[in-house]
Amino acid sequence: MPSPRKIAAAGVVGAAVLAACLILPALGRLATVDGTAPAAAILGVPLAAVLAGTGMRHYGPGRAVAVALAVTAVALAATGALSLVVAVSALNGSSTTLAAGVFLLGTPVTLVLALGFLALQLVPARTDDRLAIPATGNRIA
């Protein structure tokens, strides 16, 4: 059975892949002001769920949810701000919109990977392992 740390690391990679898959449907909703909340839900809810679910055994429930929400919030905020910059740049007729678009697509993936692995280094793992069976085989001990 893989260690809880490896499961959390795999969850970070999985969330980054999920972000790469969901960024285009989320950006499609950002055309209107009313689409901001659905775009955040399309991208944010699956990311937070994957990060929290895979980090639960490593961090513990409270820290796993906190790490997942922090990573997701930063990724969503940066993606939203960058999408606004790309939209304004496109409206001004800038020729750099292709490069900005590529940067926009890579931002959530990069942030999820960087912040997820940074959290694995900085946030302490759970200390009590109440879910594991003790080495003696006695479940009460």
Q: Is residue 60 part of a domain?
A: yes
Residue range 48-67, pLDDT digits in tens? 999 999 999 999 999 999 99
Other Cβ atoms less than 10 A from the Cβ of 122: the count is 8
Percent of the chain with pLDDT over 70: 88
Range from 7-16, 28-37, 106-115 carrying the lowest mean pLDDT = 28-37
- How many domains in the chain? 1
Q: Check residue 85 and give its pLDDT.
A: 80
Q: Check residue 139 and give its pLDDT.
A: 58
Q: Is residue 62 part of a domain?
A: yes
Question: Hey, what are 76's tokens?
Answer: 């969503």
Q: Check residue 46 and give its pLDDT.
A: 95
Q: Is residue 134 part of a domain?
A: no
Question: Hey, what are 24's tokens?
Answer: 């285009």
Q: Is residue 138 part of a domain?
A: no
Q: Which of these, 106, 124, 114, lies nearest to 13 by C-alpha position?
A: 114
Q: Is residue 132 part of a domain?
A: no
Question: Are 85 and 20 within 8 A, CB to CB?
Answer: no
Q: Is residue 103 part of a domain?
A: yes
73 — pLDDT class (breaks 50, 70, 90): very high
Question: What domain range is 64 assigned to?
Answer: 4-122
Torsion angle of alpha carbons 105, 40, 28, 18, nearest 10°? 50
Quote the Cα angle for 51-57-63, to 5°: 60
Q: Is residue 75 part of a domain?
A: yes
Residue range 6-19, pLDDT digits in tens? 999 999 999 999 99
Q: Is residue 130 part of a domain?
A: no
**Nearby residues of 116 by Cβ (< 8 Å), 6 or more positions away:** 11, 12, 15, 16, 51, 67, 71
